């Protein structure tokens, strides 16, 4: 058996020496002239790469760019003759547009009739996922007639058999790979938050006409359809940038984290206004980074502006601050001022703090006294133009004359949104009060899926399986699933994971929307989110 050829543009020279020393029964020779074949009644139609079991790759294979893949090289033949056997094939191997291994050869269909129109294994083959593989200078010859009973060879290798029973193709073929989206981007420099992205997608189905769908900020909204494009990020932070590529036959996605390191950071405190009064204010406490002195530009909800550092006498609305340093570098943040009847609530020390793992927010507050029974509703939203929604409640069961501490933990943070707003609604029999609004800022940094996978994904009929890829222990093998899109939760249900570790999702939820949605898998104290594509 031939030793495997390990091909990699980054380590060609030691690999080349290794192959030259270890490929059994291979004689390397230089091509001095192009062979002349008059009929070419057996031809090569395509080459492809398969896995080590001889199976085609699918979009569910979880290889990363640069992973070493042990697989196989296969070829499909065509032509007009049906009585050939003992086919000799020589070829050159190119990686990333450069020649690396020349005059490779294999014998196919020894003592067998040549098969046409079906893929046939050529050799074991290893390469690095993402490398562009080409087969060039393909030369073949064979014997015609009846398949002999006596032993016969298809070598030693030679390109002197130039007759009607030979084939030559100098340009060769791109080796078929799975659709493999990939992209490069220039890191943002100086003080710009604009980054240019270039698709370097490979593979898929010929003629390799791709459609691109870029999502630059993790909101599942397509921002661009160009192969080369740019995007201006609103502020510093980590953003999940996704590229979905459709070649007309299959769809696949790649996501990379893009870190925007704007030098200027702004810390400020918001004091919401009282109900029916313009008494809100925003105080800039600290500006770090950049080069002093700084200038300030506020934009009010009505479009008016001011260059003051702190602003006051504010009504409801969103206020945008741009801070610019001496080098003309800038950063911007937005602050929400919202009405709150804080005088009648007897509330103090209302705090909202993000946990160190960014998976929960802890809210605490103290009331000076309780003169009525009722409850606190904990309300949340992720943008200034949304309405608050109630996510939990804490009962006021007794009338109290002493200070009382309360707490609530939000463990089900929204997947999208860097800014999360919280407020308390106190409801009693006689009145409804609202607290001040607290803002929590977090870094959007989704962790890659490691334990769960959904396949097929994309799905063409909504029948996909959720599979546990690795053994993991969690109580009662119960898994909670939440299906949602960018606007709302579509379904929440639980399943008991069978011993196979595989669940048919359509048995529990058969209304997966067309296009992009999300599946949150909650198991034990952990959770993972998987993007779903339903064509």
Mean pLDDT value of segment 273-285:
68
450-453 contacts, C-beta under 8 A, 24 or more apart:
450/528, 451/523, 451/528, 452/521, 452/528, 452/530, 453/60, 453/62, 453/530
Domains of the chain, start order: 5-174 (no CATH), 183-260 (2.60.40.10), 265-337 (2.60.40.10), 347-441 (2.60.40.10), 452-534 (2.60.40)
Which range, of 303-312, 420-429, 525-534, averages the lowest pLDDT?
525-534
* Residue 270 CA to its chain's centroid (Å): 35
What would the DSSP string read from start to end of 366-407? Answer: EES-B-S-EEEEEEEESSTTSPPEEEEEEEE-S-BSS-EEEE
Mean pLDDT value of segment 171-184:
83
Per DSSP, the three-state class of 474 is: coil
* 392-408 per-position pLDDT tens digit: 999 887 777 777 888 99
Measured distance CA(454)–CA(516) in Å, rounded: 14
Q: Which two tokens stand for residue 429?
A: 């029999």
Q: How confident is the model at residue 189 (pLDDT cuts 50, 70, 90)?
A: low
Cβ within 8 Å of residue 507, ≥6 positions away: none
> Which of 294, 298, 303 lies closest to 322 in space, CA to CA?
298
* 225-278 per-position pLDDT tens digit: 999 999 988 766 788 999 999 988 778 888 888 877 666 878 887 766 554 456
- Say what the pLDDT of residue 22 is: 31
Say if CB 291 and CB 326 are below 8 A apart: yes
Measured distance CA(283)–CA(287) in Å, rounded: 12
Measured distance CA(261)–CA(128) in Å, rounded: 32
Mean pLDDT value of segment 145-153:
68
What pTM did the predictor assign? 0.39
Q: How confident is the model at residue 451 (pLDDT cuts 50, 70, 90)?
A: confident
């Amino acid at each position: 058996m031939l030793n495997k050829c390990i091909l990699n543009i980054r380590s060609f020279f030691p690999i080349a020496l290794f192959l030259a020393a270890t490929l059994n029964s291979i004689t390397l020779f230089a091509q001095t002239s192009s062979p002349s074949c008059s009929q070419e009644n057996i031809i090569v139609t395509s080459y492809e790469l398969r896995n080590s079991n001889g199976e085609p790759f699918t979009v569910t294979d979880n290889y990363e760019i640069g992973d070493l893949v042990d697989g196989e090289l296969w070829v499909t033949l065509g032509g007009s003759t049906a009585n050939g056997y003992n086919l000799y094939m020589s070829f050159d191997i190119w990686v990333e547009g450069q020649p690396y291994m020349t005059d490779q050869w294999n014998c196919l269909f020894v003592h067998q009739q040549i098969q046409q129109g079906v893929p046939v294994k050529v050799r074991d083959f290893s390469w690095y996922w993402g490398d562009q593989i080409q087969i060039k200078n393909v030369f073949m010859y064979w014997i015609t007639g009846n398949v002999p009973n006596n032993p016969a060879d298809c070598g030693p290798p030679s390109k002197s058999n130039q007759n009607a029973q030979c084939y030559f193709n100098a340009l060769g073929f791109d080796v078929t790979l799975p659709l493999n989206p990939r992209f490069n981007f220039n890191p943002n420099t100086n003080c710009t938050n604009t980054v240019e992205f270039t698709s370097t997608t490979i593979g898929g189905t010929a003629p390799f006409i791709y459609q691109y769908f870029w999502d630059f900020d993790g909101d599942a909204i397509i921002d661009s359809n160009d192969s080369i494009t740019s995007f201006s990020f609103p502020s510093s932070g980590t953003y999940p940038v996704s590229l979905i590529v459709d070649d007309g036959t299959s769809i696949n996605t790649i996501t990379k984290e893009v870190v925007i390191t704007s030098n200027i950071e702004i810390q400020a405190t918001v004091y919401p206004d009282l109900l029916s009064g313009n008494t809100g204010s925003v105080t800039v406490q600290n500006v770090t980074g950049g080069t002093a002195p700084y200038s300030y530009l506020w934009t009010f909800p009505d479009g008016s502006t001011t260059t003051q550092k702190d602003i006051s006498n504010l009504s409801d609305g969103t206020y945008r601050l741009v801070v610019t340093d001496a080098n003309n570098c800038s950063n911007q943040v937005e602050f929400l001022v919202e009405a709150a009847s804080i005088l009648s609530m007897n509330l103090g020390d209302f705090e909202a703090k993000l946990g160190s793992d960014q998976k929960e927010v802890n809210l605490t507050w103290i009331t000076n006294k309780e003169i009525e029974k009722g409850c606190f509703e904990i309300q949340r939203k992720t943008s200034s133009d949304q309405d608050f929604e109630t996510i939990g409640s804490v009962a006021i069961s007794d009338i109290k004359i002493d200070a009382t501490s309360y707490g609530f933990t939000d463990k089900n943070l929204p997947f999208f949104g860097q800014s999360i707003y919280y407020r308390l609604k106190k409801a009693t029999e006689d009145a409804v009060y609202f607290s001040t609004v607290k803002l929590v800022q977090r870094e959007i940094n989704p962790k890659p899926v490691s334990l769960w996978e959904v396949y097929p994904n994309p799905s063409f009929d909504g029948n996909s399986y959720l599979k546990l890829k690795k053994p993991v222990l969690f109580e009662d093998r119960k898994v909670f699933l939440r299906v949602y899109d960018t606007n709302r939760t579509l379904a929440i249900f639980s399943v008991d994971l069978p011993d196979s570790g595989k669940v048919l999702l359509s048995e529990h939820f058969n209304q997966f929307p067309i296009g992009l949605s999300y599946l949150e898998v909650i198991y034990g104290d952990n959770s993972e989110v998987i993007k779903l594509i339903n064509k």
